[in-house]
């Protein structure tokens, strides 16, 4: 089912999410809802708190690598449960990021170019991979959501001050 998004100012976006201890039918349905909502909204990914659920689950649609012009390659949506990120590369990359929960604000964020991720799949199996490029950026962005962190928290404080009026407008519009 396609879910309504929550927007900047909603408390779920600032909550450190709880681990999922059991793959129940409710968790399977949440995973399906994340996939359907991300596809409907054309999101690169979507984390559970963005639809109001404060559990450690997100979906990603980016693959490793980039196309010939340097843009992300879409792949079938993949669910990550209780992800753990580690071993970030020393090489960094700065690129614009947006967020479905903060519509219209794209900000330059610097992140490691590669990162290791360990997660549980919907069958309860532990998976691992080395994510690179756009996929790594997306996994870090979505994982931030599980810790109550938004991409705007990772920008320079002077830039953050500049966008504060737009953020106040969003908060008032979506969370009156």
- Quick check: is 147 in a domain? yes
Q: What is residue 60's predicted lDDT score, i.e. its pLDDT?
A: 98
As for how many domains the chain has, the answer is: 1
- Between 65 and 31, name the one with better pLDDT: 31
- The pLDDT of residue 124 is 96
Identify whether 5 is part of a domain.
no
Query: Is position 1 within any domain?
Result: no
- Is 2 inside any structural domain? no
Write out the residue range of the structural domain in which residue 137 sits: 11-174
In the structure, what pLDDT confidence band is assigned to residue 175 with cuts at 50, 70 and 90? confident
| pLDDT tens, position by position, 18-54 | 999 999 999 999 999 999 999 999 999 999 999 999 9
- pLDDT value at position 94? 96
Tally of CB atoms within 10 A around 164: 10
The answer to whether position 141 is within a domain reads yes
145 is in an annotated binding site: yes
142 is annotated as an active-site residue: yes
Q: Is residue 70's pLDDT more than 90? A: no
Residue 7 has pLDDT above 80, yes or no: yes
pLDDT in tens, 100-150: 999 999 999 999 999 999 999 999 999 999 999 999 999 999 999 999 999
| Residue among 97, 107, 114, 142 flagged as catalytic | 142
* Residue 29 forms part of a structural domain: yes
Q: pTM of the entire structure?
A: 0.96
| pLDDT of 167 | 97
The answer to the question of residue 114 being in a domain is: yes
Q: Are 49 and 15 a contacting pair, CB within 8 Å?
A: yes
| CATH number for 28 | 3.90.45.10
* CA distances in angstroms from 174 to 25, 51, 152, listed in the order given: 30, 13, 17
Residue 49 is assigned to a structural domain of this protein: yes
- SS3 per-residue string spanning the chain: CCCCCCCCCCHHHHCECECCCCCCHHHHHHHHHHHHHHHHHCCCEEEHHHHCCCECEEEEEEEEEECCCCCEEEEEEEEEEEEEEECCCCCEEEEEECCCCCCCCCEEEEEECEEEEEEECCCCCEEEEEEEHHHHHHHHHHHHHHECCCHHHHCCHHHHHHHHHHHHHHHHHHCC
């Amino acid at each position: 089912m396609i879910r309504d998004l929550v927007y900047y100012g909603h408390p779920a976006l600032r909550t450190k999410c709880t681990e999922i201890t059991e793959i129940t039918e409710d968790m399977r349905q949440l995973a399906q809802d994340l996939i359907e909502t991300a596809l409907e909204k054309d999101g690169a990914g979507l984390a559970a708190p963005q639809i109001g659920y404060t559990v450690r689950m997100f979906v990603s649609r980016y693959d490793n690598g980039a196309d010939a012009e340097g843009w992300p390659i879409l792949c079938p949506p993949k669910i990550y449960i209780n992800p753990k990120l580690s071993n970030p590369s020393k090489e960094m990359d700065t690129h614009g990021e947006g967020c479905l929960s903060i519509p219209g604000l794209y900000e330059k964020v610097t992140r490691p170019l590669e990162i290791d991720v360990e997660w549980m799949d919907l069958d309860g199996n532990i998976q691992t991979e080395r994510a690179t490029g756009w996929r790594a950026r997306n996994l870090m962005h979505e994982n931030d959501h599980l810790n109550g962190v938004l991409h705007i928290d990772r920008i320079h404080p002077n830039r953050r001050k500049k966008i504060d009026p737009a953020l106040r407008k969003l908060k008032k519009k979506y969370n009156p």
